[in-house]
Structure 1
Amino acid sequence: MSWLSLQRRDTQLSELMDDPACDLDGLRRTYAQFGSVNSLVAGWGRVYRQHLRPRLSRDRPHRLLDIGCGGGDVPRALARWAARDGFTLRITAIDADARAIAYAAAQPPVSGLTFRQALSGDLVRQGHSFDLVTSNHLLHHLTDAELRTVLLDSEALCRDAEGRGGGLAVHSDIQRSPLAYAAFRVGVAPLFRGSFIGVDGLRSIRRSFTAPELAALAPPGWQVQTLPPYRNLLLYDAATALSDTGAPARA
């Protein structure tokens, strides 16, 4: 794989796990290994400490929406960390794929965590709102139009019925680069046999965004931060964004 082939997103590639006809045993093994691979590459412990935990208070329950939850390892980790730190965090984890929800819901229950087959737009139409909105490795699966839709949904879900909001959205994804591709191919993919992670991980990198690409696509009010190694965080602080546009905001 040369740098030239990574200069642009390869949106023609599809991941094995996204195939409705993929091998179900391989898919379940992939879901089962997500927790291990994400602990190596996704950096959610740091994201929780730097971005999510400061928004939590022990004075009241908080609500978090995780979009595209896959096998559910990230919302499970967030639930454990919040409980460990003395917070009440009620998490709704959604995925459009019934296979992902079936797998996640079949795992041992975690207090305050529920799984649901849904799109972010479904929750917008139903009038839901959340203090925190997250996703992990979702953005690279999307077309540019789908990405904008998810971001606008995230904005709406960080507001209440009166248009006010103080919520935070954090979408974490891979940052495309030849070094990321080489590091995953040599250091990570060989560790995960019998699943789709080796193939899909490399395809994910080729489908993923650079930081400037994300910044160019994001609506006003969103910010891109980079997180080592080879991560993009796309952040929306509803209180700041609404204040900047003159709309009422609350902390």
Structure 2
Amino acid sequence: MSPESPGAARARTRFVSLARRDERLTEIMDDPDCDPDRLRRTLQGFGLVNRAVASWGRVYRTHLRPVLAAASVESGRRGAVRVLDVGCGGGDVLRRIVASAARDGIAVEGVGIDPDPRAIAVATGAPRVPGVVYRQCYSSALVAHGERFDVVLSNHLLHHLAADELSGLLADSEALATRLAVHSDIARSRLAYAAFAIGAVPVSPGTLLRVDGLRSIRRSYTPDELAAALPAGWRAERVGPFRLLAVQRRSTPPRDAARIR
């Protein structure tokens, strides 16, 4: 099948309303019966897409590196600081962060979790980065076991979640993160939709990147919507035109009481 031309891709964006979140949409990759080869190629392709659009380099410099550096100094002989990536998918974001920290002289133990065994298989099959491990589980399981991390993060997870699931993720993050939680997602807009519809054409053949990416944008939040969905203690921040962050900074470790999702 020939790739769709930019003109045809642009035409397909004209009649999609982005006035409200379209929570009725589901992404094909969330279907347990979706084509396994297309899913694998999609998860592998996220590395390229995330580097192009997800702004993790900037978020690492402005949000993560200062916290990780301070945690490294304070940890002393306790070893590496810990980072948790919730819903890690193919693991590319976590590998990038741990590798960036290593270049800055910060030893990080990165743990990526995802309940989908197909995602964990792709993550574990990727080139290994020292200090990174993956587990097939939900964040609630880590809360139940009393685990703690200096930083908890996620990428493109928020828009997948119903209201109660979002509340559960944020509660789990509060219980797990001793210093910082950063959940990054798309900022819904006409510009984001049109740009991705065209820009994803060259990398989408044989994958779900374009169709699911456009559905993701339609399910995602505007800045005001995300701010309204966050509980007290959380802040919605914008990073560039296409990226939103849900951020909580902690000055003291969370209480021992676990909050189970």
How does the TM-score come out when normalised to structure 1? 0.90
Gaps of 5+ in 2: 1-12, 255-261
SS in 2 for 1:12: coil
Instruction: Give SS of 1:127's match.
Output: coil
User: Letter of the aligned partner of 2:34 in structure 1?
Assistant: C
Q: Distance in 1 between matches of 2:239 and 2:216?
A: 17
In 2, are the aligned partners of 1:190 and 1:198 still within 8 Å (CA)? Answer: no
1:109 to 124, 128, 148: 128
Residue pair 2:184, 2:243 contacting (<8 A) in 1 also: yes
Say if 2:159 is the partner of 1:140: yes
Q: Which amino acid counterpart does residue 7 of structure 1 have in structure 2?
A: A
Is the contact made by 2:155 and 2:183 (CA closer than 8 Å) also made in structure 1?
yes
1:55-95 alpha-carbon deviations (Å, 9 max, x no partner): 12343421000000001100010111011111010011001
Structure-1 separation of matches of 2:198 and 2:129: 34
Amino acid at match of 2:150: D
Do 2:83 and 2:110's aligned partners in 1 also have CA atoms closer than 8 Å?
yes
Aligned to 1:226: 238
Measure, in 2, the Cα distance between the counterparts of 1:67 and 1:84: 23
1:151-170 correspondence to structure 2 within 5 Å? 151-158=170-177, 165=178, 167-170=179-182
Partner residue in 1 for 2:187: 175
CA displacement 1:115-138 (0-9 Å, x = unmatched): 001111111111011100010000
1:158-178 Cα distance to aligned partner (Å, 9 max, x none): 2xxxxxx4x100000001111
Matched, 1:121 2:133: no
The answer to whether structure 1 residue 149 and structure 2 residue 168 are counterparts is: yes
For the pair 1:18 / 2:30, whether they are aligned, the reply is yes
Aligned equivalent of 2:199, options 176, 184, 187: 187
Aligned to 1:236, which of 240, 244, 248? 248
The equivalent residue for 1:85 is 104
Alpha-carbon distance in 2 for matches of 1:19, 1:190: 24
For residues 193 and 79 of structure 1, the distance between their equivalents in structure 2, rounded to whole angstroms, comes to 30
Percent identity between the two aligned chains: 54
| Structure 1: segments with no counterpart, 5+ residues | 159-164, 243-251
TM-score, normalized by length of structure 2?
0.86
Figure out how many residues of one structure are paired with residues of the other and give that number.
Answer: 235
- For residues 24 and 6 of structure 1, do their structure 2 counterparts lie closer, same or farther at Cα, with a shift above 3 Å needed? same
Instruction: Evaluate the alpha carbon distance shift between residue 200 and residue 34 of structure 1 in structure 2; reply closer, same or farther with a 3 A threshold.
Output: same
The aligned counterpart of 2:4 is: none
CA distance in 2, matches of 1:189, 1:152: 37
Partner amino acid, structure 2, of 1:226: R
Paired residue for 1:161? Answer: none
Which of 84, 90, 93 is matched with 1:74 structurally? 93
Structure 2 counterpart of 1:39, from 48, 51, 56: 51
| Separation of aligned partners in 1, 2:253 and 2:25 | 35
Residue type of the alignment partner of 1:135: S
Counterpart residue identity of residue 199, structure 2? G
Deviation at 1:108, TM superposition (A): 2.5
Please say which of residues 231-240 and 14-23 is displaced more in the overlay.
Answer: 231-240
Return the offset for 1:2: 5.2
- Kindly indicate whether residue 220 of structure 2 is the aligned counterpart of residue 208 of structure 1: yes
Q: How far 1:213 moved relative to its partner?
A: 1.0
For 2:166, the aligned partner's letter is L
Partner residue of 2:21? Answer: 9
